[in-house]
Structures are given as structure tokens and as C-alpha cells.
């Protein structure tokens, strides 16, 4: 392995661990305080009230599944694609909140997070999106190269 | 450069996988939620009902439409000294200024603050709840929650702090 490849290998490993940690922690924190997260989802004022608790149940499960897949040796590529989808959705929600002047407590980490401004939410989502997209593209390239 | 066709094929396969995981996360989330410490109902509770969860609201009152009063009535009640004003805004706003004698009971920290509140305030006390302005909903949510918890004489001052301050009525600090 060349020094450049070794550095890339370390960066990819660190990113996988970091993203798995962030999404796993976020999912577990939301599971512990589902009511807080449900109120956070409702605060965006975009979802019909009948769907709010369903979203509040599904998102933490999805985050924990994504974290688990990221750590698995077989499905980490798909795990990073789930992180891309989640981060994109988070950014879209915060853009919506910013455009409509809604001050939100996103409850992204359950009760362990306070009120989040739309700008901070977008920046955080963008950092997650950049990291997970980089990871997915790297794994996608490796898979396609190996096949062909 | 990645071969475009293979890359797109792989991306399509991955997207299908993600879609399946997305669909599976719905029942999985529901199951995990049901065995969790605070399971959510599938349909969300009304905001005031959610506030009183775990606070022992055993016999729910039927009529949950607290009387709304205007600024003149609120001023009369303040002068009479019989009513306790309840400020449902966040504590940071309460600290900047509030109706004299008001206690702070924000919607966001209701569950934590209620225990102290109920120890100090008898259930038959006249309570007048307000929030920041006429369009805010926190006064209504907190007033209904207090009614559910057995407070029998709860009113809402609809104009809120904005109207009170604009009228240059007494304030603290």
C-alpha cells in the first residue's frame, strides 16, 4: 500500500467511525426521549399531524440501522447512502424552517440538544452530507473498479 | 474515471437497498418504540394532553376551553390581587419583564416545573395565563394543561405581554 493509499484508508475508516458514532448516538438519544423528538418534528410545521409520530419512530430506527451498516464489512456503502439521504432531508427541513422564519428545536440528539438556528442546522447537515457523500462515492468507485 | 453505466447500475441497486431499509425502518421503529421507556402513540396527543403525561392527570375535565379575557379585565384582576398571573414564555423573556407577581411556567419546561408550581398554588386559585402576543399558542396549551391537572379557575389573557407592554401597564422588573 502506498503512503497516499494508506492515508486515504485511514481517512475513510475514521469517517465511517465518525458518521456511525454521530448517527448512532442521534438515533439512540431520540429513542430515549421520543416525545421530545416528536415535538421537534412537529415544530417544523411541514408534516401532517397524523404522520408526526410515525416519522418520530422511523427516523431513529433508520439512523441506528445506518450506523450499524456503516460499521459492517459488507453493507457500509449502502449505509453511507442512507446517511446521504438523511443529511439531505435534514438540510431541506432546515432550509424550509429558515425560509419560513420558524425557530426550531430540532431535537436531533433527543433532549441533549437545545434550540437550533436554521443556519446551524444547515451547516451541520452540509458537513454530514459532504462526509457521507465522499464516503459513498469512494465505496462506489471501489466496487465498480473491483467488478470491472 | 468510473465507467458510467456500471456506476449508474450500482447506484440504482444501492438506491433500491436504501428504499427497502426505509420501508423496514417504519415497523422496526414502531416495535422498538413500543418496548422503549416512553412509547409514543401512533397518533400524536394534543399538545396540552402531551404536557400532562406522567403528571397524574387522572380525571380529565370535560370542558377544556378556558375563558379568554381582554386587557381591561386582566388589569382589574391584577388590581384586585386575587388572580395569579402565569407567564408561559421562556424564562429568558420572563426575566426581561413580566406582569407584576407573575410566575414563570414555560410550556417547554412544564413537566419539570409543575411539581414546584403545584406545591405553591392551590387548585382553586384563579390563574390567568399569558404568553408573548395574541397569536402565540403557549398560553392556551399551558392553560388547558393546568385545567387537566385539576385547576378549576383558569383564564387566558389573549393579548399577552406585547399588548401589556405597549399599554405601559405595571411591570416587573
When the pLDDT of each residue in chain A is averaged and rounded to a whole number, the result is 86
Q: Do A57 and B29 touch (CB under 8 A)?
A: yes
**DSSP secondary structure letters along A7-56:** HHHHHHHHHHHHHHHHHHHHHHHHHHSHHHHHHHHHHT--S-HHHHHHHH
- Say yes or no to pLDDT of A111 above 80: no
**What's residue B117's pLDDT?**
94
Nearest alpha carbon to residue A61 among B123, B30, B13, B4: B30
What are the cell numbers at B1? 474515471
Find the residue in A nearest to B22 (Cα).
A62
Structure confidence at residue B16 (pLDDT):
95
Whether A131 and chain B come into contact, CB under 8 Å, resolves to: no
Confidence of residue A148 (pLDDT cuts 50, 70, 90): low
Chunked mean pLDDT (size 10), chain B, 173 residues: 82 94 92 83 77 66 77 95 93 93 90 91 95 84 90 93 94 91
pLDDT at residue A107, rounded to an integer? 65
Residue A18 at interface with chain B, using a CB cutoff of 8 Å: no
pLDDT in tens, B61-109: 556 778 999 999 999 999 999 999 999 998 889 999 999 999 999 987 8
- Residue A5's pLDDT is 84
Summarize pLDDT for A2-47 with one digit per residue, the tens.
888 889 889 999 999 999 999 999 999 888 878 778 878 887 878 8
Q: Long-range pairs for A118-124 at CB < 8 Å and ≥24 separation?
A: A118/A94, A121/A90, A121/A91, A121/A93, A121/A94, A121/A97, A122/A91, A122/A94, A122/A95, A122/A98, A124/A90
| Burial of residue A2 (number of CB atoms within 10 Å: 0-12, 13-18, 19+) | exposed
Contacts of B26 in chain A (CB under 8 A): 54, 57-58, 61
Q: Nearest-CA residue of chain B relative to A51?
A: B43
The answer to whether ipTM exceeds 0.85 is: no
- Predicted pLDDT at B60: 54
Whether B12 has its CB under 8 Å from any CB of chain A: the answer is: no
pLDDT at B161: 94
Contact list in B for residue A49 (CB cut-off 8 A) is 43-44
The answer on pLDDT for A51 being more than 70 is yes
> What pLDDT score was predicted for residue A105?
63
Q: Which of B18, B29, B39 sits opposite A85 (nearest CB)?
A: B18
Does the CB of B41 have a partner CB in chain A at under 8 Å?
yes
Surface of A (30-59) touching B: CB under 8 A: 31-35, 38-39, 42, 49-50, 52-54, 56-59
Amino acid at each position: 500500500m502506498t503512503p497516499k493509499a494508506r492515508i486515504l484508508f485511514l481517512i475513510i475508516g475514521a469517517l465511517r467511525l465518525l458518521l456511525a458514532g454521530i448517527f448512532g448516538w442521534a438515533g439512540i438519544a431520540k429513542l430515549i426521549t421520543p416525545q421530545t423528538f416528536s415535538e421537534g418534528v412537529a415544530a417544523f410545521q411541514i408534516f401532517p399531524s397524523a404522520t408526526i409520530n410515525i416519522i418520530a419512530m422511523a427516523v431513529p430506527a433508520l439512523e441506528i440501522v445506518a450506523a450499524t451498516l456503516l460499521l459492517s464489512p459488507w453493507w457500509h456503502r449502502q449505509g453511507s447512502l442512507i446517511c446521504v439521504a438523511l443529511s439531505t432531508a435534514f438540510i431541506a427541513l432546515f432550509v424550509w424552517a429558515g425560509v419560513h422564519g420558524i425557530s426550531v428545536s430540532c431535537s436531533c440528539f433527543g433532549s441533549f440538544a437545545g434550540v437550533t438556528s436554521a443556519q446551524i442546522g444547515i451547516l451541520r447537515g452540509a458537513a454530514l452530507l459532504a462526509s457521507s457523500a465522499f464516503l459513498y462515492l469512494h465505496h462506489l468507485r471501489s466496487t465498480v473498479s473491483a467488478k470491472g | 474515471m468510473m465507467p458510467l453505466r456500471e456506476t449508474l447500475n450500482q447506484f440504482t441497486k444501492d438506491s433500491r437497498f436504501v428504499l427497502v431499509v426505509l420501508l423496514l425502518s417504519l415497523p422496526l421503529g414502531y416495535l422498538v418504540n413500543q418496548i422503549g421507556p416512553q412509547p409514543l402513540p401512533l397518533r400524536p396527543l394534543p399538545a396540552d394532553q402531551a404536557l400532562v403525561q406522567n403528571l397524574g392527570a387522572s380525571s380529565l375535565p370535560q370542558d377544556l376551553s378556558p375563558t379568554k379575557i381582554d386587557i381591561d379585565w386582566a388589569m382589574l384582576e391584577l388590581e384586585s390581587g386575587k388572580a395569579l398571573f402565569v407567564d408561559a414564555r421562556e424564562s429568558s423573556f420572563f426575566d426581561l419583564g413580566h406582569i407584576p407577581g407573575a410566575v414563570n411556567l414555560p410550556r417547554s419546561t412544564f413537566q419539570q416545573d409543575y411539581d414546584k408550581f403545584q406545591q405553591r398554588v392551590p387548585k382553586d386559585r384563579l390563574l390567568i395565563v399569558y404568553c408573548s402576543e395574541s397569536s402565540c399558542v403557549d398560553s392556551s396549551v399551558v392553560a388547558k394543561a393546568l385545567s387537566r391537572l385539576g385547576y378549576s379557575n383558569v383564564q387566558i389573557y389573549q393579548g399577552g405581554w406585547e399588548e401589556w407592554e405597549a399599554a405601559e401597564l405595571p411591570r416587573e422588573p
